[in-house]
């Protein structure tokens, strides 16, 4: 028997069906609410609104669970690679050895970027933020590479092009911003090792591939590969619902990710640590400010909107962070300050009672800084990692037989009908 929820309004009773997810979670289906009642729902921030059904990522914020296609994030971070995880998200299953090899070859073959695109990079003002450049350049790919979306094989080619080229484009933007020679991808290096080499190799100082740094980047990208219907993923689905091409939908996701409350949070962590360091490394005043409801200051990198317990990704990347710092033996006052802040917060009753544990952004900022990634590139690193999730979500929405163009409603609170007043009769 199908479950339903009854809504009583005055002398009328309305029944709405209840949908059940794979793990028993319940959703009230309000798709016919307006037709039945004339009402809409109001949910600022969409915290209680499901915009779609999806088989890609499962999250349980109360229990601290994150799974891609049913596989726990812990297993993927420990045993998988970013490329294999990308395949899993996009295709819905783990690849065979042959499929993974073919996927890797395709990524290598499509990793070069059209030389004419370099002109675009060189004409951006030097002060341009890398995220703005990346969003623009991903959109520009449509002019250089046709969108192939007729058959599964053609979609795979478009998807592979994007995955392969975004890494090259990100490294190019960094090199050009510094006035350095662009380094091209090498066929003998893995996806993660190639990126680091393209970022840091120079004619006068060849880059040394450090396995711990490659592993750290691999884990970082796996942890960020998808995260259910967050701000940027919802943007990709919403823009994609207009049946725009994949490049345009991903460009919208990059723009949404840019914000400091979303993908820019790890950059904000380092900026916060820099401010604390500049003010004499005094942690206690900042902790006190974070606990003051009347103070707009926020302790960046602590707590999460969805996770009401410890962020499962934070546990994983903390171990990665410790291994990387032990290997590199870096002397950095900000990294020492981060550990001191972490220790102080974890002992503070207010932070414990309010579930303000260090989240993935806190540790990922430290990991990226230790690898030498510039602070303004942090969000770009997040975007590269999130790309397979965006693609999977876009692809799923394109294949949805119940697809509808996204068109949220609103509750209008402005003036009622008002007559136009000629300008000469208006009282200033």
3-class state of residue 11 by DSSP: coil
What is the CB-side half-sphere exposure of residue 310 using CA atoms within 13 A?
8
- Catalytic-role residue among 226, 227, 304, 311: 304
- Active-site residue among 361, 399, 400, 419? 361
3-state secondary structure of 87: helix
DSSP character string of 234-297: HHHHHHHTTT--HHHHHHHHHHHHTSTTTTTHHHHHHHHHHHHHHTTS--HHHHHHHH-TT---
Bridge pairing between strands 65-68 and 57-60: antiparallel
**Cα–Cα nearest to 245, from 112, 388, 90, 141:** 141
DSSP letters, 366-414, are HHHHHHT--GGGHHHHHHHHHHHHHHHHHHHHHH-TT-----------S
Q: Does residue 173 contact residue 146 with C-beta atoms inside 8 Å?
A: no
Q: Is 304 a catalytic residue?
A: yes
Q: Please give the angle made by the CA atoms of 57, 305 and 228, to the nearest 5 degrees.
A: 15
Kindly list the catalytic residues.
304, 361
């Amino acid at each position: 028997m199908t479950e339903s929820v009854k809504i009583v309004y005055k002398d009328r009773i309305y029944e709405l069906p209840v949908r059940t997810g794979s793990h028993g979670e319940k959703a009230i289906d309000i798709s016919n609410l307006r037709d039945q009642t004339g009402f809409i729902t109001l949910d600022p921030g969409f915290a209680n609104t499901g915009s779609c059904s999806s088989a890609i990522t499962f999250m349980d914020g109360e229990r601290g669970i994150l799974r891609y296609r049913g596989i726990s994030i812990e297993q993927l971070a420990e045993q998988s690679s970013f490329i294999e995880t990308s395949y899993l998200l996009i295709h819905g299953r783990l690849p065979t050895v042959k499929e993974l090899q073919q996927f890797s070859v395709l990524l290598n073959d499509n990793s070069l970027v059209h030389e004419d695109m370099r002109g675009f990079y060189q004409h951006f003002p030097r002060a341009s933020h890398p995220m703005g450049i990346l969003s623009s350049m991903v959109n520009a790919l449509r002019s250089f590479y046709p969108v192939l979306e007729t058959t599964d094989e053609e979609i795979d080619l478009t998807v592979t092009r994007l995955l392969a080229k975004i890494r090259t484009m990100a490294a190019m933007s960094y090199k050009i911003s510094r006035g350095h020679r662009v380094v091209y991808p090498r066929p003998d290096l893995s996806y993660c090792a190639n990126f680091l080499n393209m970022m840091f190799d120079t004619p006068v100082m060849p880059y040394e591939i450090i396995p711990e740094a490659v592993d750290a980047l691999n884990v970082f990208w796996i942890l960020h590969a998808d995260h259910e219907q967050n701000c940027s993923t919802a943007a990709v689905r919403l823009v994609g619902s207009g049946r725009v091409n994949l490049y345009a939908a991903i460009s919208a996701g990059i723009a949404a990710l840019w914000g400091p409350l979303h993908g820019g949070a790890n950059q904000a962590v380092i900026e916060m640590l820099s401010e604390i360091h500049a003010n004499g490394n005094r942690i206690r005043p900042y902790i006190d400010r974070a606990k003051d409801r009347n103070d707009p200051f926020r302790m960046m990198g602590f707590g999460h909107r969805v996770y009401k317990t410890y962020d499962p990704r934070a546990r994983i990347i903390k171990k990665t962070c410790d291994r990387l710092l032990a290997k590199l033996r870096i002397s950095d006052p900000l990294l020492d300050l981060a550990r001191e802040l972490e220790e102080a917060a974890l002992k503070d009753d207010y932070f414990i009672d309010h579930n303000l544990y260090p989240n993935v952004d806190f540790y990922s900022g430290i990991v990226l800084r230790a690898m030498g990634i510039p602070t303004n590139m942090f969000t770009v690193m997040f975007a590269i990692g999130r790309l397979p999730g965006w693609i999977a979500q876009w692809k799923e929405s394109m294949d949805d037989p119940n697809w509808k163009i996204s068109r949220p409603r609103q509750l209008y609170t402005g003036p009622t009908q008002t007559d136009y007043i000629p300008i000469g009769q208006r009282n200033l």
